[in-house]
Structure formats: C-alpha cells, structure tokens
Structure 1
Amino acid sequence: MSSLFWNIRGINKRYKQKELKKYLGNKRIRLAGLIETRVKDHNKARVLNNIVPGWKALNNYQQADNGRNLFVWDPSWLFGNPVSLQEVQDFYNACMQHIDVYEHPWQADYYIWSNKQQGPERITSRTNRSFGNSEWMLKWGQVVTLYDLPFISDHAPMLITLQQQFSHRHASFNFFNVWVDHDSFLPLVKDKWKEERAKNHMQNVWMKLKSLQPASKVLNNQEFKFIRLKIDKTREELLHLQEEIAHHPTDTLIQQEKQALLNLEKWSLIEESAFKQKSRVKWVKLGDSNNKYFFDVCKERSHRSQILEITSLAGIKLYDPQKIKEEFILFYGDRWVPRQFVYCRCANKL
C-alpha cells in the first residue's frame, strides 16, 4: 500500500483535479494527506468527488478557518474506527515532543520546493520531511520516502510505500568475538589447524578457516543460542533464590545466589557484546546496557542492505522479489555471459 503527503497549493482548478486523480491512480495511492488545498468548506464535497469518489475524508475546517487540509483514504483498503482529533494530537505530541524521532531515508533531489521564479529571483528550499519513531523503524525500517517531481504544485509530493520485508537471502557467516572466551574454542581451533588440506600454503590456510565455520556454528548453537531466554531464566532463578534466602537463609542458598548473579552478568555481557558487534557501534562501552538501541541499529542496518525495489529496463518500478530477480538476470545476462549459463547458475540463488 502506498501513501502520499503533498503540499498541493490549490486544487480548485478543474485541470488540477483531473491531474491529481490520474496521479493517485498511477501511483496506486490508497491514503493521502493534502495540504493547502485552498478548497472552501462548501466546495470540499464536490472537489473530493471529482478526485477520489467514494473515499473517506477528514479535514481541519472547524479547528482553523483557513486550514483547508484534507486527509483522504480508500475505505476498501483501510479498515478500523474513525480517527478523532484527540488521537491525531496525541500522535503528534508523542512523535515530536516526547520520543526520539528520526527522518526517513529518502530519494530524489535535496531541494523539494521552489518559488517557480527565474534567474536570481528563484528560491529553492527543503521544507517538507517525513519522520518516524523507533516503533516505526522496527516494523517499517526498510521504507524509503520518495520525493517525486512537483508536477502541478511547487512542493514535491512525498511517496511512502509500505510493503513487507522479504528476507530469502542466504545469511553469511559471522564470527562473534564472544566465542574466543569459551573454554572449548582454542582446542577446537588447534584440532582444525593440525589438518593438512592443501599443498599450497595460502589455500591450506583458507581451507582450514573454511573448516572452522561449521564447527563454530555448532559451538554457537550449543552455548550461545537463545541468550535472551537464558538471561530470563537466570533472572527468575535469582529472584526465586532471594525469596528463599529471605525466609530461610543458608550457606548453600547464598552460594547459589552468588553463582546466579555471576551467570546473569555473564550472559548479559555476552548479549551486549553480540549486539555491539552486529551494530558496529564503536563508541559505546560494554556494560552500558543499551540493548534497545543496539537492536534498533541492527534492524536499520538489515533494512539498508536489502533491495526492495528497482526500475526495470522498460522504466517500470518492480517490487515483487521474483520479478526483481528476473530483471537482474536479464540485465547482467546480456552483458557478461551467455544468458543460458546465467539462468542455470543463478536462477535459484538470487
């Protein structure tokens, strides 16, 4: 589903209504916020019927005499209860005043507004931006705001396309530093390093490192997998022990409490070290316990490394993963190697 936010600078003229209707249809917009429409209250029903017949709408005429801002959506795509002004106001306060808000990644020219003048009288500026909070990033961090051409306005429309994240790619091998501190890691490396796998020295080293990958994955699955569950379990054990000590303190329980505290610290530092390495945040010291921050950065990095849309050779935007894969094969197959070879080697791997 695609949404649009546009400082339209007037839609009273019939040609603007026709062009806006066509634009919404071409971009498959199902939700739109239109600012500075300059449509008077008694004309809004007629204008909206010309542009988006059958759509629902909200406006700010009662709150601002000259507001004339419209929020429209296709009810066949969006469901739920009507949005009240109080809900919108709470959203504004929460996003802009009380929580950390960041600007979306964006594409197109930096300056998205101009006064339409020529020569030295021309002024350009970046007046409109789109923002999101950490909750938005966790669900829609892959979304990019596209600033389209101004068309019938002097402000560029902001296009936001919501689509699910596809992650069918094969995950690459990552070495985690926490493995080094485990008792079985060095013996594991020594056993693999005694093996001779090739006569060439460089190839021998490379093959030894490759042979460490499956063994390291086994170690990780046995000792470091589900760290969050281990932390929660250790925390519950600690609380249970402290309740027992409060009623019947014994040397055994006190010793178990000390061990539980050590285990909690151990798993907490291991989790934080892994998040720090994944997020590549160098300046945060281990022990700061910024797990939510680390997780947000990891998610943002993961979203950035994906290809969610491309423009085909025919000039059509593609969003479906299968069509994107086929377009890559078509593009590079004609340039590097015979297409038959590309299809048989790459069709199941992209």
Structure 2
Amino acid sequence: MVVLDVYRLNNVGIGAFLETKIKGVKIKAVMSSTFVGWEYYSSVNLEGRILLIWKAHLEIILGDFNAVFSPNDRLGGRPITMKEMEDARQWLDLGLVDEMKVMGSFYTWSNNQEGGTRIFSKLDRVFANEAWLDSFPLVAVVSQWEVISDHCFILLKHLPTLRMG
C-alpha cells in the first residue's frame, strides 16, 4: 500500500484518507491489521469517504474541508465570492483554533483538467488549538503532490532541534 509506505517513511502520527470507499466493518479490519495502536474515525453519514487516523496521544483538526477561507484559495475557474467564504470564516472567527502554516504547495486540490479548464484550490487544512501548539512547538505542516490522488498529501513533521553551546 503506497500510502502506508509514505506514513512509515515520514514517521507520520496523524492522517486523513479521503474517498476511501472502505465500508463499516472493513475499516476496523484495515485499522487492526495495518495501523496497529492507532485511533480512527469514519463518519456514518460519509462512510467510505473520509477516514481520520491518529496515534492515540495526538489531537488536531485536519482534512478536506471543501471550503474556501480566502479569495486567494482558488486558481482558475470562477472567482471566489464572499458567500462561499461565509461559513468557513465564521467558524474560524470563533477563535477556537488557528490554521497552521504550510510548507510546500499552497494549493492542495486539483480538478486534474488540462489547459484553461484546470482549477487549483486550497481545500485541505490543518488547525490546532493553543494547547496543541504549546505541546508540539516544533511541528511543521508539509503539503506535497503525489500522482495517486487529486489532493496533496498533508504531513505533520517534527522539526529537528538545534543544540547550541
């Protein structure tokens, strides 16, 4: 499984699988055989579409929000309207979490079209609250394109510390 190799090589502690097509009891079987010791969540309403996984000691919000937060979140296609941003901006204005800065590709989704019909959007995001940021101050969010999906991989990486003195 290519995704599992990416997780192992990057020592990933949290992840989201989108459009998995894995149903109910099969999710439990996949998790118990492939991601031993990990927690997971898959919505009953969106079963088979989104699977969130994390090592038992981590808590964070990330995923494909299918929402734009800023007029710059789309390249190509029709311009973003204020109405499109309204719900996402109101949620963010509650101040419960902050979006983490991303290294790598700004846009995280593509419609995979060619030429003038190609659209890039920033749909995948990582949010954390102050307590999480205090616990993990040396974590960076990295987005990178791979050929197996129309979305980027979103990786949380622990940055090395420099020893001085």
- Taking structure 2 as the reference length, the TM-score comes to 0.62
Shift of 1:123: 1.1
- 1:6-40 Cα shifts (integer Å, max 9, x gaps): xxxxxxxxxxxx11121112112233232332212
Q: For residue 120 of structure 1, what is the aligned residue in structure 2?
A: 116
The correspondence for 1:58, drawn from 40, 51, 54, is: 40
Write 1 or 2 for the structure with the bigger share of helix.
1
Q: For residue 27 of structure 2, what is the aligned residue in structure 1?
A: 44
Say whether the 8 Å CA contact 2:13–2:156 is kept in structure 1: no
Task: Summarize the alignment of residues 29-178 of structure 1 with structure 2, pairs less than 5 Å apart.
Answer: 29-48=12-31, 52-62=34-44, 64-66=45-47, 68-74=49-55, 78=56, 96=92, 98-99=94-95, 101-162=97-158, 166=161, 168-169=163-164
Specify the SS of the correspondent of 2:13. Answer: strand
Specify the SS of the correspondent of 1:144. Answer: strand
What runs of 5+ residues in structure 1 fail to find an aligned partner?
Answer: 1-17, 84-94, 171-350
Q: 1:143 to 1:67 in 2, by over 3 A?
A: same
- 1:81-111 Cα shifts (integer Å, max 9, x gaps): xx9xxxxxxxxxxx95643532212211222
In 2, Cα distance between the equivalents of 1:35 and 1:129?
Answer: 13
In 2, Cα distance between the equivalents of 1:126 and 1:71?
Answer: 19
Larger Rg: 1
In 2, Cα distance between the equivalents of 1:142 and 1:24?
Answer: 19
Specify the SS of the correspondent of 2:124. Answer: coil
Counterpart amino acid of residue 42 in structure 2: N
In 2, Cα distance between the equivalents of 1:54 and 1:139?
Answer: 24
Shift of 1:160: 0.9
Say whether the 8 Å CA contact 2:19–2:49 is kept in structure 1: yes
Q: What is the RMSD computed on CA atoms of the aligned residues? A: 3.2
Q: 1:66 to 1:103 in 2, by over 3 A?
A: same
- 1:209-262 Cα shifts (integer Å, max 9, x gaps): xxxxxxxxxxxxxxxxxxxxxxxxxxxxxxxxxxxxxxxxxxxxxxxxxxxxxx
Shift of 1:159: 0.9
Q: For residue 192 of structure 1, what is the aligned residue in structure 2?
A: none
Task: Summarize the alignment of residues 277-296 of structure 1 with structure 2, pairs less than 5 Å apart.
Answer: none
Shift of 1:154: 0.9
Say whether the 8 Å CA contact 2:14–2:156 is kept in structure 1: no
Q: Which has the higher contact order (CA 8 A, sep 6+)?
A: 2
Specify the SS of the correspondent of 2:125. Answer: coil
Write 1 or 2 for the structure with the bigger share of strand.
2
Specify the SS of the correspondent of 1:129. Answer: strand
Q: 1:53 to 1:60 in 2, by over 3 A?
A: closer
Q: 1:142 to 1:48 in 2, by over 3 A?
A: closer
In 1, Cα distance between the equivalents of 2:14 and 2:36?
Answer: 13
Say whether the 8 Å CA contact 1:101–1:133 is kept in structure 2: yes
Q: For residue 85 of structure 2, what is the aligned residue in structure 1?
A: none
Q: 1:44 to 1:169 in 2, by over 3 A?
A: same
Q: 1:45 to 1:131 in 2, by over 3 A?
A: closer
In 2, Cα distance between the equivalents of 1:148 and 1:126?
Answer: 12
- Taking structure 1 as the reference length, the TM-score comes to 0.33
Say whether the 8 Å CA contact 1:57–1:70 is kept in structure 2: no
Say whether the 8 Å CA contact 1:102–1:131 is kept in structure 2: yes
Say whether the 8 Å CA contact 1:112–1:128 is kept in structure 2: yes
Q: For residue 5 of structure 1, what is the aligned residue in structure 2?
A: none
Task: Summarize the alignment of residues 1-350 of structure 1 with structure 2, pairs less than 5 Å apart.
Answer: 18-48=1-31, 52-62=34-44, 64-66=45-47, 68-74=49-55, 78=56, 96=92, 98-99=94-95, 101-162=97-158, 166=161, 168-169=163-164
Instruction: Report % sequence identity.
Output: 22
